C-alpha cells in the first residue's frame, strides 16, 4: 500500500502501535478500513484483524492485505457468574494478547482513517499525557434511516457526555467511543483491559471508567480530523444496534423518549405557525421561527450536514423515541441481540455503573 513500510519490515520491526480490528461479517466495510490503516505513515505499527466467526468474505479480505495478521478469538468464555463475554470483547482481548506495541489502538471495521491520523493521535495522547484517548468519528449517513436517526442520537450523546467534561477528572462524567480507542499498553494491562469488562455491552464506556477509577487520564473529543465511520447501512442494522445500546447510554430512556416526542410535535407546530404567520405578517411567525431554530441548534451539535439535520427534526425525533422505548423493553426483558448472537442483560445489573456515571 502507498506510504506504508514493506510487509517484511513491518513483520520484524517492533511496532510502537498495535492496531486491533475486531470484525464479524464486515465484508462491506473492512477493505476501506484496512486500506486507510495500511497507508498510515510517521509511526511504526502493526495491524491485527480478529475474524470473529465471520460467514462472509471478511477473512479473505483481511488476508489480501500484505502484512496484516488475521487471527481467530476462539469460543466465547464465561465469567464467574456464568455470563458470556460479548463477541467484541472476546475478539479485542485476543488481539491484545497477540499485540507487540507499547500502544494499542482498538478500532472498528466500519472506520476509515485519514492520512497521518495514527501518528497524529499518538502525538496527541503523549502531549495530553492521556492513558486512553478516544475519538468520536465523523459519522457518515447515507440511507434515509441513518440521516433521520443518527443526528438525533449523537446530539443527545453530545449533551449527555460533553467532551470537555469527560476530559475533566473531577466532573464525574466519563465516556469513550469504541470505534476509536487508543490506550497506553502498560495502563491497559494494569486496569485489566477488556477482560475486566468482558460481559459489558457498552465496553467502551466501561473501559474508560476503569481507567478513570484507577487515576488514569482519559481524553475524548470529536475526531473529524482523524477518522470517519458508517455504523449502520440499513434500517435493520440501525434498529438492532441502537436497541442494544440506547437504554444503557441514557439514564432515563422513557423520559427522554417522551421529551423527544414533545420536541417532534413542537418542531412541526412551530414550523407551521412560522410559515403561516410570516405569510400574513404576524409577529408570532418570528417567535415560532426562533423556537424552531433553537431546536435545530441543539441537533447541530452532532456535526451532520444541514439537510440531515432537517430530516432528523422532521422524522428522527419520533424514531428516536421509538428506539429508546424498544431498547428499554429489551433490556428489561433481559435479552438483546447483535450480529446473530443473543446476550443476557439487565438494566439493573449491566447498566448500573454506566447509568450512575451518566447521572
First to last CA, the chain: 46
Query: What pLDDT was estimated at residue 281?
Result: 56
Dihedral, CA of residue 305, residue 243, residue 320 and residue 158, to nearest 10: -50
In a domain, 329, yes or no: yes
Whether residue 350 sits in one domain with residue 254: yes
Number of domains within the chain: 2
pTM (2 d.p.) = 0.88
Q: Which residue stretches of the chain are H helix?
A: 7-12, 30-38, 58-63, 87-98, 117-127, 144-160, 163-166, 185-191, 203-213, 235-249, 253-280, 284-300, 306-311, 317-333, 352-358
CATH number, domain with residue 105:
3.90.550.10
Query: What pLDDT was estimated at residue 354?
Result: 43
Query: What pLDDT was estimated at residue 277?
Result: 62
Query: What pLDDT was estimated at residue 175?
Result: 94
DSSP assigned state of 195: G
- 92 vs 78: CA distance, rounded Å: 16
Query: What pLDDT was estimated at residue 359?
Result: 37
Query: What pLDDT was estimated at residue 8?
Result: 39
Q: Which of 208, 233, 258 finishes a domain?
A: 233
Mean pLDDT by 10 residues, the chain (359 residues): 44 85 97 98 97 96 96 90 91 97 98 98 97 97 96 95 92 95 98 96 96 96 97 96 95 94 84 64 61 78 91 93 97 92 69 42
Q: Bridge partners of 111?
A: 229
The residue segments making up the domain with residue 257 are 249-358
Q: Which of 199, 233, 267 finishes a domain?
A: 233
Query: What pLDDT was estimated at residue 6?
Result: 44
The SS3 call for residue 64 is coil
Whether residue 17 sits in one domain with residue 82: yes
Whether residue 314 sits in one domain with residue 274: yes
Whether residue 257 sits in one domain with residue 191: no
In a domain, 76, yes or no: yes
In a domain, 146, yes or no: no
Amino acid at each position: 500500500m502507498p506510504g506504508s513500510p514493506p510487509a517484511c519490515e513491518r513483520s520484524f520491526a517492533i511496532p510502537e502501535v498495535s492496531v486491533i480490528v475486531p470484525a464479524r461479517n464486515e465484508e462491506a466495510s473492512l477493505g476501506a478500513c484496512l486500506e486507510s490503516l495500511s497507508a498510515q505513515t510517521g509511526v511504526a505499527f502493526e495491524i491485527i484483524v480478529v475474524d470473529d466467526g465471520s460467514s462472509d468474505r471478511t477473512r479473505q479480505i483481511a488476508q489480501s492485505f500484505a502484512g496484516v495478521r488475521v487471527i481467530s478469538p476462539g469460543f466465547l468464555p464465561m465469567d464467574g457468574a456464568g455470563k458470556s463475554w460479548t463477541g467484541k470483547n472476546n475478539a479485542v482481548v485476543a488481539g491484545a494478547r497477540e499485540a507487540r506495541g507499547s500502544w494499542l489502538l482498538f478500532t472498528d471495521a466500519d472506520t476509515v482513517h485519514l492520512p497521518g491520523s495514527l501518528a497524529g493521535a499518538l502525538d496527541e495522547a503523549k502531549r495530553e499525557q492521556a492513558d486512553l484517548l478516544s475519538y468520536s468519528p465523523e459519522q457518515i449517513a447515507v440511507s434515509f434511516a441513518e440521516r433521520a436517526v443518527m443526528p438525533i442520537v449523537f446530539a443527545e450523546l453530545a449533551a449527555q457526555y460533553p467532551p470537555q467534561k469527560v476530559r475533566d477528572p473531577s466532573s464525574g462524567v466519563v465516556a469513550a467511543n469504541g470505534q476509536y480507542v487508543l490506550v497506553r499498553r502498560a495502563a491497559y494491562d494494569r486496569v485489566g483491559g477488556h477482560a475486566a469488562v468482558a460481559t459489558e455491552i457498552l465496553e467502551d464506556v466501561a473501559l474508560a471508567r476503569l481507567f478513570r477509577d484507577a487515576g488514569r487520564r482519559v481524553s475524548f473529543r470529536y475526531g473529524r480530523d482523524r477518522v470517519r465511520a458508517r455504523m449502520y447501512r440499513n434500517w435493520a442494522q440501525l434498529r438492532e444496534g441502537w436497541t442494544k445500546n440506547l437504554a444503557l447510554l441514557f439514564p432515563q430512556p422513557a423520559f427522554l423518549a417522551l421529551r423527544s416526542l414533545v420536541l417532534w410535535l413542537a418542531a412541526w407546530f412551530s414550523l407551521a405557525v412560522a410559515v403561516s404567520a410570516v405569510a400574513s405578517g404576524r409577529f408570532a411567525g418570528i417567535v415560532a421561527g426562533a423556537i424552531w431554530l433553537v431546536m435545530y441548534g441543539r441537533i447541530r451539535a452532532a456535526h451532520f450536514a444541514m439537510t440531515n439535520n432537517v430530516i432528523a427534526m422532521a422524522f428522527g425525533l419520533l424514531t428516536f423515541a421509538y428506539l429508546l422505548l424498544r431498547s428499554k423493553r429489551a433490556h428489561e426483558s433481559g435479552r438483546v441481540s447483535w450480529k446473530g448472537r443473543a446476550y443476557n442483560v439487565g438494566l439493573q445489573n449491566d447498566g448500573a455503573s454506566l447509568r450512575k456515571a451518566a447521572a
